[in-house]
């Protein structure tokens, strides 16, 4: 394994995902497949952000299992502990420590303007401070490793802007310490759920877990909403408004996508057959993930070792940053003790 100290000249990227168990198709298309591809070109740090997860509530008894399941998904899809640091956020307390220190330079108004804060806060009668401060912890996650870039979806761009603002404000107040990380926006765009309505999300039940068996994948895909105007099999369809067609674009080659569109418009293939093809292609793509996940689940200590090793390497980098930050902020009281 590399030492994780970023001695190479590769740019460093950080990203993380909240643990809600096994990853799903939306996680794969929107994030994980990109992260896998980035591992040759960047110095990568992939995190399971359990400190963030507690702001969403949930049963504490289930959280450790969700972390394990997400770790299995990470490694099964190809995140590689030999080429990246893979770890759990709560193992590296420097994230939360830096978040506290960033409170000193982050205006409350900036946090209140976050779109996600406005959305999420409506769900609470009394809004927990963690919902407001969440982007500060995100900034700390990224900046504690002095990351150069962050692969994110369009919906996270505003949070990266805030991270850049925090870095700027800190540098202005305490001296040049942090880079201003760039958002690397993915091409996958917004992945709609099988309901064709909302973003793919486990809580909405509109997705496909990536480790599903082929028949489970079909059970999910067969429920996918299609062009509402295609009521009978001989009604011509409109692939451009059908989410199944959009998903074909992620799992089939150009010739298949063209064939799907042509047959849809000509009503020469029914929606059930069209979904069958999609389901089989998803199943084929995910087959190696299922096999690798089965191996990992049979050897849970291997997963623990990967995460322990990742945490050690992450901690070494993060502590170096914190040492510098504490010193710049005057949090090294021993310097004030007179000699003698």
Catalytic-labelled residue, pool 10, 11, 146, 202:
202
In the complex with ligand SF4, the residue whose CB is nearer, 26 or 237, is: 237
Question: How far, in Å, CA of 322 to CA of 98, rounded?
Answer: 7
Catalytic-labelled residue, pool 10, 120, 169, 297:
120
Provide, rounded to whole angstroms, the least separation between the CB of residue 280 and ligand SF4.
Answer: 14
Chain contacts with ligand SF4 (rule: CB under 6 A): 226-227, 230, 237, 239, 242, 244-245, 260, 264, 269, 271, 274-275
CA dihedral 320, 321, 324, 328 (to 10 degrees): -160
Provide, rounded to whole angstroms, the least separation between the CB of residue 150 and ligand SF4.
Answer: 34
Residue 271, token pair as written in the block: 């929606």
Angle at 79 between CA 134 and CA 151, to 5 degrees: 45
Place of tokens 């199944």: 244
Residue 267, token pair as written in the block: 């009503």
Provide, rounded to whole angstroms, the least separation between the CB of residue 290 and ligand SF4.
Answer: 25
Q: What residue spans of the chain are helical by DSSP H?
A: 25-27, 33-38, 50-53, 63-77, 94-102, 108-112, 115-121, 129-143, 157-174, 214-221, 243-251, 254-266, 271-298, 300-328
Provide, rounded to whole angstroms, the least separation between the CB of residue 275 and ligand SF4.
Answer: 6
In the complex with ligand SF4, the residue whose CB is nearer, 90 or 226, is: 226
Provide, rounded to whole angstroms, the least separation between the CB of residue 238 and ligand SF4.
Answer: 7
Provide, rounded to whole angstroms, the least separation between the CB of residue 215 and ligand SF4.
Answer: 19
* Cβ atoms of 326 and 332 closer than 8 Å: yes
In the complex with ligand SF4, the residue whose CB is nearer, 143 or 247, is: 247
In the complex with ligand SF4, the residue whose CB is nearer, 28 or 245, is: 245
Question: How far, in Å, CA of 147 to CA of 130, rounded?
Answer: 23
Is there a catalytic annotation at residue 157?
no
CA dihedral 114, 116, 117, 120 (to 10 degrees): 170
Question: How far, in Å, CA of 163 to CA of 223, rounded?
Answer: 39
Provide, rounded to whole angstroms, the least separation between the CB of residue 218 and ligand SF4.
Answer: 14
* Cβ atoms of 95 and 319 closer than 8 Å: no
Is there a catalytic annotation at residue 202?
yes
Catalytic-labelled residue, pool 10, 169, 199, 297:
199
In the complex with ligand SF4, the residue whose CB is nearer, 264 or 314, is: 264
Q: SS3 sequence, 48-115?
A: ECHHHHHHHCCCCCCHHHHHHHHHHHHHHHCCCCCCEEEEEHHHCCHHHHHHHHHHHHCCHHHHHCCH
Is there a catalytic annotation at residue 275?
no
In the complex with ligand SF4, the residue whose CB is nearer, 275 or 315, is: 275
* Cβ atoms of 259 and 287 closer than 8 Å: no
In the complex with ligand SF4, the residue whose CB is nearer, 211 or 242, is: 242
Question: How far, in Å, CA of 191 to CA of 221, rounded?
Answer: 14
* Cβ atoms of 317 and 4 closer than 8 Å: yes
Catalytic residues: 120, 199, 202
């Amino acid at each position: 394994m590399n030492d994780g100290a970023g001695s190479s000249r590769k740019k460093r990227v950080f990203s993380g995902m909240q643990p809600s168990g096994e990853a799903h198709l939306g996680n794969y298309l929107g994030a994980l497949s990109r992260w896998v591809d980035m591992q040759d070109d960047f110095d990568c740090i992939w995190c399971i952000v359990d400190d963030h997860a507690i702001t969403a509530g949930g049963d504490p008894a289930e959280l450790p299992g969700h972390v394990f399941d997400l770790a299995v998904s990470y490694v099964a899809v190809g995140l590689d502990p030999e080429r990246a640091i893979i770890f759990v956020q709560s193992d590296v307390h420097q994230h939360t420590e830096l978040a506290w220190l960033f409170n000193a330079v982050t205006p409350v108004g900036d946090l209140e303007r976050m779109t996600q804060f406005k959305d999420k806060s409506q769900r609470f009668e009394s809004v927990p401070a963690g919902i407001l401060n969440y982007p500060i912890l995100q900034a700390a996650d990224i900046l504690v490793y002095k990351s150069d870039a962050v692969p994110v979806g369009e919906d996270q761009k505003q949070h990266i802007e805030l991270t850049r603002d925090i870095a700027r404000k800190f540098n202005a107040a305490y001296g040049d310490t942090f880079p201003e990380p760039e958002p690397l926006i993915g091409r996958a765009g917004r992945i709609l759920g099988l309901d064709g309505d909302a973003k793919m999300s486990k809580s909405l039940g509109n997705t496909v877990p990536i480790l599903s068996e082929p028949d489970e994948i079909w059970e999910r895909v067969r429920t996918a909403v299609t062009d509402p105007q295609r009521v009978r099999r001989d009604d011509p369809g409109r692939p451009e408004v059908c989410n199944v067609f959009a998903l074909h674009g992620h799992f089939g080659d150009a010739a298949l996508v063209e064939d799907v569109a042509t047959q849809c418009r000509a009503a020469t293939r029914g929606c059930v057959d069209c979904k069958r093809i999609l389901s089989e292609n998803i199943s084929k793509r995910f087959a190696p993930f299922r096999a690798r996940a089965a191996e990992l689940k049979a050897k849970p200590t291997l997963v623990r070792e990967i995460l322990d090793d990742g945490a050690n390497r992450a901690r070494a980098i993060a502590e170096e940053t914190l040492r510098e930050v504490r010193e710049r902020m005057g949090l090294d009281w021993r310097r004030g003790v007179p000699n003698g």
